[in-house]
Amino acid sequence: MTVKQISIFAENRPGRISNITHLLAVNGINIRAMSVADTKDFGILRFIVNDADKAVAALKEGGCTVSVSNVLAIQIPDRPGGLAAAMQVLYDNNVSVEYMYSAFVSEKSAEAYLILRADSNEAAEQAFEGRYHLLSQEELLTK
């Protein structure tokens, strides 16, 4: 089970993040998780949103280079060692993480949520099976 992630290529210049998030805002899109990866000349903004299709359309309309990919949303216990245990499972199963970031959580929850892209998402799914709960798109949006 994977969720849709949208990635945006952004040059390093003032106003880009502001402009992109503004596009999402005016289209009524709620961001559920995000990360920014940066290099010297450019960055990649990655979002999990409540309506990926609408977000992609809005961003393309706004002139952005957008790519859609599938990533895993995994639920882990929000306590010391919670992440380490999940990573151990991937390592034991020879799965590499390409990138990973945390999703927004409510303070009340005892769980944390992690967005993760592996070299093989299927292998990662199998590795987590029975051990960790992977969230569906709908589920992620209601947390």
List the one residue out of 63, 67, 60, 77 whose CA is nearest residue 37: 67
Q: Quote the radius of gyration of the chain (alpha carbons, Å).
A: 16
Q: How far apart are CA 2 and CA 14, in angstroms?
A: 33
Closest contact distance (angstroms) between CB of 78 and another protein is 27
Closest contact distance (angstroms) between CB of 139 and another protein is 22
In the shown chain, the binding pattern of residues 73 to 92 toward another protein, with x for contact by CB under 8 A and - for none, equals --------------------
CB atoms near residue 12 (< 10 Å): 11
Closest contact distance (angstroms) between CB of 69 and another protein is 5
Give the single-character DSSP code of 29.
Answer: P
In the shown chain, the binding pattern of residues 99 to 128 toward another protein, with x for contact by CB under 8 A and - for none, equals x-----------------------------
Query: Which H or E run includes 90?
Result: helix 82-92
User: Binding to another protein (CB under 8 A): which residues in 22-81?
Assistant: 37, 39, 41-42, 44, 46, 60, 63-67, 69
Is residue 34 a contact partner of residue 71, using CB atoms and an 8 Å limit?
no
Q: Which stretches of the chain bind another protein, using CB under 8 A?
A: 5, 7, 9-11, 37, 39, 41-42, 44, 46, 60, 63-67, 69, 98-99
